Structure 1
Amino acid sequence: MRNAKERNITLKALDFNNQDLADAVRNTITVIVPFSVFFFLGMPSAAMGVGTGTLLICLTDLPGNRAEKMFSAWLSTLTFSLLAVLISLLVSNIYALPFVVGGLTFLLLMMTSLGQRMGVIGMMGLGVAAFTIGLHPTNPLAYGMYIAIGGIWYSLVSLTQAWLFPYHSLKRALARTKKNTAALMRLRSIGYDMEASLAGFNAKNIKLHLKLTTDHELVRRLLLGDRFNISFEDISGKQLLKESILLIDLYEKVSALHYDYTSMRNTLAGSGILEKIRNLIGFTADKLESNTPVQANFDEFIAEIHRLTVASEKHRDLVAGIVVNLEETGALVFALDDQRDLDTKMLSKQFPAFLTEGKISFKMLKAHLTYDSQVFRFALRISLLMMAVVLVVAMLPKGSYGYWLPITLIVISRPSYGMTMKRNIERVIGTFAGLIIGWCLIALNLPIALQLCIAVLGLFLFFGFLLLRYWVSAMGITLAVVLCLSIYHGNTTQILSERLLFTLLGCLIGLAATFLFPVRHSFNIKIAVQQAISTNSDYLSAVINNAHQDVIQIKLARKQSYLALSALNEAISLVAREPKWKRKELRTLRQIELLCFQVNALTAALSIADKDLSSLNIKPIADLNYCVEKLNEMQHGQVFALMPLERLDGQLNLSNVAVKLKTIFSAS
Structure 2
Amino acid sequence: MGKNSIGSTITYFFLGEYFSDALRTTITVVLPIILFFYLGNPDAAKGIGVGALLISLTDLPDNRLNKLKTAVWSISVFFLTTLVVSSVLDRVYLTAIVVVLAAFSFSMFAVYGQKLALIGTMALIVCTFTMGLHPARPLYFSTCILIGGVWYYVISLIQTLLRPYRSLHHAIFECLMSSAEFLHIKAKNYDVTVPLDLQQKAAIKLHIKVNQKHELIRNLLLTDKYAMNPDNPKGQLLLERARLLIDLYEQLNAVHYDYGLVRKTLNEGTSLQLIATLIEILARELEQLGRHVRSAKAYKGELATNVAYHQNRVLLQEELERLNETQRLIVLKVMANMNDIVRIIEMIRGNERVPEKEQQELSGTIAYPLFITGDRFSVKEHLSLKSPIFRFSLRLAICFLFGFLLTWQLEPSKYSYWLFLTLVIVARPKFSITWKRNLQRLKGSMGGVVIGLVMVYLIKSPAVLLSFSVIFLLGFYAFNRLNYTISVLFITPAVILTLGSYQGHFDHIVHDRVMFTLLGCVIAIFATYLFPVWDSRQLKTKIADAAKASIHYLEVAIQNRSERDENQSRMARKNANLSLSALSEAIESARQEPLQKSIDFKGLYDVQAIIYQVNAIITSIYLSLNHKAEQTDPFLVKQIINNLGNEAILKNDAAPHIDAMGVKDEDHSTRQKLAHIAALSLDFKRFSAGFWG
Decide which moves more: 484-493 or 2-11. Answer: 2-11
Instruction: Report how far residue 440 of structure 1 moved.
Output: 0.8
Instruction: Report how far residue 193 of structure 1 moved.
Output: 1.6
CA offsets, 1:392-438, max 9 Å, x none? 44676665211111001111111122211111111111111111111
Which residue in the other structure is 1:67 paired with? 65
Secondary structure of 1:42 counterpart: coil
Instruction: Report how far residue 582 of structure 1 moved.
Output: 7.2
Query: Conserved in 2, the CA contact under 8 Å of 1:624 and 1:661?
Result: no
Instruction: Report how far residue 354 of structure 1 moved.
Output: 3.9
Counterpart Cα distance in 2 of 1:524 and 1:49: 44
Query: Conserved in 2, the CA contact under 8 Å of 1:283 and 1:293?
Result: no
Secondary structure of 1:610 counterpart: coil
- Indicate which of 295, 318, 325 corresponds to 2:330: 318
Query: Conserved in 2, the CA contact under 8 Å of 1:66 and 1:159?
Result: yes
- Indicate which of 563, 568, 574 corresponds to 2:583: 568
Instruction: Report how far residue 199 of structure 1 moved.
Output: 4.3
The one-letter code matched in structure 1 to 2:220 is L
Counterpart Cα distance in 1 of 2:104 and 2:95: 14
Counterpart Cα distance in 1 of 2:589 and 2:110: 18
Decide which moves more: 325-334 or 655-664. Answer: 655-664
Secondary structure of 2:321 counterpart: helix
- Indicate which of 40, 48, 51 corresponds to 1:50: 48
CA offsets, 1:312-360, max 9 Å, x none? 24321111111100110111112112133376453277343543433x6
The one-letter code matched in structure 1 to 2:373 is E
Query: Conserved in 2, the CA contact under 8 Å of 1:620 and 1:658?
Result: no
Instruction: Report how far residue 55 of structure 1 moved.
Output: 1.4
Instruction: Report how far residue 295 of structure 1 moved.
Output: 1.1
Counterpart Cα distance in 2 of 1:581 and 1:185: 32
Counterpart Cα distance in 2 of 1:57 and 1:348: 40
Shift of the 161–610 alpha-carbon distance from structure 1 to 2, 3 Å rule, reads same
Query: Conserved in 2, the CA contact under 8 Å of 1:408 and 1:507?
Result: yes
Instruction: Report how far residue 503 of structure 1 moved.
Output: 0.8
Secondary structure of 1:144 counterpart: helix
Decide which moves more: 400-409 or 458-467. Answer: 458-467
Which residue in the other structure is 1:239 paired with? 237
CA-based RMSD: 2.5
| TM-score, normalised relative to structure 2 | 0.88
Instruction: Report how far residue 523 of structure 1 moved.
Output: 3.5
Shift of the 631–26 alpha-carbon distance from structure 1 to 2, 3 Å rule, reads farther
Which residue in the other structure is 1:545 paired with? 559
Shift of the 620–383 alpha-carbon distance from structure 1 to 2, 3 Å rule, reads farther
Instruction: Report how far residue 587 of structure 1 moved.
Output: 3.0
- Indicate which of 649, 652, 661 corresponds to 2:684: 661
2:440 is the alignment partner of 1:429: no
The one-letter code matched in structure 1 to 2:685 is K
Instruction: Report how far residue 73 of structure 1 moved.
Output: 0.3
Secondary structure of 1:347 counterpart: helix
Alignment of 1:188-227 (within 5 A): 188-227=186-225
Instruction: Report how far residue 42 of structure 1 moved.
Output: 1.6
Counterpart Cα distance in 1 of 2:486 and 2:645: 47
Counterpart Cα distance in 1 of 2:117 and 2:19: 25
The one-letter code matched in structure 1 to 2:507 is T
2:426 is the alignment partner of 1:416: no
Counterpart Cα distance in 2 of 1:242 and 1:66: 20
CA offsets, 1:207-257, max 9 Å, x none? 111111111011111111122221153433232222111110011111124
Gaps of 5+ in 2: 290-300, 649-658, 662-672
- Indicate which of 373, 377, 388 corresponds to 1:357: 373
2:188 is the alignment partner of 1:172: no
The one-letter code matched in structure 2 to 1:528 is K
Alignment of 1:101-500 (within 5 A): 101-291=99-289, 292-297=301-306, 298-314=309-325, 315-341=327-353, 344-345=359-360, 346-347=362-363, 350-358=366-374, 362-363=377-378, 365-393=379-407, 400-500=414-514
Instruction: Report how far residue 85 of structure 1 moved.
Output: 0.5
2:23 is the alignment partner of 1:25: yes
Which residue in the other structure is 1:638 paired with? none
CA offsets, 1:483-515, max 9 Å, x none? 111110111110111111111111111111111
CA offsets, 1:431-466, max 9 Å, x none? 111111111111112433332222112112211212
Secondary structure of 1:231 counterpart: coil
Counterpart Cα distance in 2 of 1:621 and 1:455: 63
Counterpart Cα distance in 1 of 2:582 and 2:11: 30
The one-letter code matched in structure 1 to 2:8 is N
Shift of the 54–356 alpha-carbon distance from structure 1 to 2, 3 Å rule, reads same
CA offsets, 1:128-165, max 9 Å, x none? 00000000011111111111111111111111111111
Query: Conserved in 2, the CA contact under 8 Å of 1:576 and 1:583?
Result: no
Counterpart Cα distance in 2 of 1:4 and 1:302: 26
Decide which moves more: 53-62 or 520-529. Answer: 520-529
| TM-score, normalised relative to structure 1 | 0.92
2:627 is the alignment partner of 1:612: yes
Instruction: Report how far residue 170 of structure 1 moved.
Output: 0.7
Instruction: Report how far residue 619 of structure 1 moved.
Output: 4.0
Which residue in the other structure is 1:642 paired with? none
Secondary structure of 2:559 counterpart: helix
Shift of the 228–181 alpha-carbon distance from structure 1 to 2, 3 Å rule, reads same
Which residue in the other structure is 2:669 paired with? none
The one-letter code matched in structure 2 to 1:516 is L
For these two proteins, the number of residue pairs brought into alignment is 647
Counterpart Cα distance in 1 of 2:499 and 2:635: 69
Instruction: Report how far residue 536 of structure 1 moved.
Output: 0.5
Counterpart Cα distance in 1 of 2:688 and 2:459: 69
Query: Conserved in 2, the CA contact under 8 Å of 1:85 and 1:141?
Result: yes
Secondary structure of 2:626 counterpart: coil
Counterpart Cα distance in 1 of 2:473 and 2:114: 24
Counterpart Cα distance in 2 of 1:107 and 1:624: 46
Which residue in the other structure is 1:641 paired with? none
Shift of the 539–581 alpha-carbon distance from structure 1 to 2, 3 Å rule, reads closer
The one-letter code matched in structure 2 to 1:510 is A
Instruction: Report how far residue 598 of structure 1 moved.
Output: 0.9
Counterpart Cα distance in 1 of 2:637 and 2:138: 64
The one-letter code matched in structure 2 to 1:130 is T
Query: Conserved in 2, the CA contact under 8 Å of 1:184 and 1:205?
Result: yes
Query: Conserved in 1, the CA contact under 8 Å of 2:426 and 2:521?
Result: yes
Gaps of 5+ in 1: 633-648
Counterpart Cα distance in 2 of 1:581 and 1:590: 14
Counterpart Cα distance in 2 of 1:286 and 1:172: 19
CA offsets, 1:262-302, max 9 Å, x none? 22122212321212211111111111121452313244443
Query: Conserved in 1, the CA contact under 8 Å of 2:432 and 2:589?
Result: yes
The sequence identity of aligned pairs, in percent, is: 32
Counterpart Cα distance in 1 of 2:90 and 2:366: 56
Counterpart Cα distance in 2 of 1:573 and 1:625: 27
Counterpart Cα distance in 2 of 1:493 and 1:507: 21
CA offsets, 1:148-190, max 9 Å, x none? 1111111111111111111111111111111111110000001
Alignment of 1:507-522 (within 5 A): 507-522=521-536
